[in-house]
Every structure is written in C-alpha cells, then in structure tokens.
C-alpha cells in the first residue's frame, strides 16, 4: 500500500528564513499568500535587494522607501 500526501486546504508552504541584510528571522510562504504580497508592487527593488533574496519585513519596507525616494529625486530632475 502506498501512501499519498493528503491535500490540504492550502498548498502554502511556510518556511523560516533569515534576512541576508540584518539577520532577523522571518517567515516566508513563497507564494501569493506571503506577507510581502501585501506591500506596494509599483516600485522595483534595487539590484542589491534582488540579489540578496527575501528580505525581512523591516528591510523590505526600507528598500521600498529607498526606491520611492530615488524615484522622487529622478522626477525632480525633469
């Protein structure tokens, strides 16, 4: 008799991660249900942030704020 995994109501897999920037522990579900999906998606992250991988909530919020500030400065130059 073979055992098959029982499908759950959600296929979300939550994992514990460590922020590569500050070392804080945080959870990540690696899909649309992750906490990060509720953050604004209108601002691209810097290359440094993308290369770092998943950031904790505080570092990701800081990175988004940095992107907004850079966009504002770029817009002032026009």
Each residue of 46-74: pLDDT tens digit?
667 667 678 899 998 888 888 788 878 88
Confidence of residue 8 (pLDDT cuts 50, 70, 90): very low
Residue 9 above 60 pLDDT?
no
What pTM was estimated for this model as a whole?
0.64
Q: Name the residue ranges covered by the structural domains of the chain.
A: 44-78
DSSP per residue, 14-66:
-EEEE-TTT--EEEE-SSTTSGGGGS--SSPPPHHHHHH-S--HHHHHHHHHH
Q: What percent of the chain has pLDDT over 90?
A: 15
Q: Name the 3-class secondary structure at 67.
A: helix
CB atoms within 10 A of CB 26: 19
Distance of alpha carbon 51 from the chain centroid? 12
The answer to whether the beta carbons of residues 17 and 54 sit under 8 Å apart is yes
């Amino acid at each position: 008799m073979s055992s098959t995994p029982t499908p759950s109501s959600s296929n979300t897999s939550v994992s514990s991660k460590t922020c590569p920037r500050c070392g804080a522990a945080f959870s990540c579900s690696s899909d649309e249900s992750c906490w990060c999906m509720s953050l604004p998606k209108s601002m691209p992250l810097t290359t440094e942030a993308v290369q770092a991988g998943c950031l904790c909530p505080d570092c990701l919020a800081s990175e988004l704020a940095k992107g907004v500030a850079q966009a504002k400065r770029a817009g002032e130059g026009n």
